[in-house]
Amino acid sequence: MFNIKFANFVGLSLFLLSMVGINTNAYSESSNWYGGINIGRGDLDFSGYDDSSSLSLYAGNNLSDNGAYEFGYTDLGQFDVSGVPGTYIEVTGFEITGIGKMPVSNSVDLFAKFGIYFWNLDAVIFGTNIGGDDDNSITLGAGADFSFNGNVSGRVAFQQYSDVSDEDITNISIGIHTNF
pLDDT of 13 > 70? The answer is no
Angstrom distance (rounded) from CA 150 to CA 140: 27
> In the structure, what pLDDT confidence band is assigned to residue 3 with cuts at 50, 70 and 90?
low
Contact indicator for 96, 69 with CB cutoff of 8 Å: yes
Residue 168: CATH number of its domain: 2.40.160.20
Angstrom distance (rounded) from CA 150 to CA 132: 43
pLDDT of 29 > 60? The answer is no
Tell me the average pLDDT across 33-50. 95
User: Count of domains in the chain?
Assistant: 1
Angstrom distance (rounded) from CA 131 to CA 58: 28
Angstrom distance (rounded) from CA 142 to CA 101: 10
pLDDT of 43 > 60? The answer is yes
> In the structure, what pLDDT confidence band is assigned to residue 126 with cuts at 50, 70 and 90?
very high
Angstrom distance (rounded) from CA 4 to CA 80: 31
> In the structure, what pLDDT confidence band is assigned to residue 84 with cuts at 50, 70 and 90?
very high
pLDDT of 75 > 50? The answer is yes
Burial class (CB in 10 A: 0-12, 13-18, 19+), 127: exposed
Q: Which residue has the higher pLDDT, 154 or 31?
A: 154
Q: So what's the pLDDT on residue 7?
A: 57
**Residues of the domain holding 117:** 4-179
- DSSP calls for 155-179: EEEEEEEEEETTEEEEEEEEEEEEE
Angstrom distance (rounded) from CA 161 to CA 139: 5
Summary mean pLDDT of the chain: 88
pLDDT in tens, 87-115: 999 999 999 999 999 999 999 999 999 99
> In the structure, what pLDDT confidence band is assigned to residue 6 with cuts at 50, 70 and 90?
low
pLDDT of 86 > 60? The answer is yes
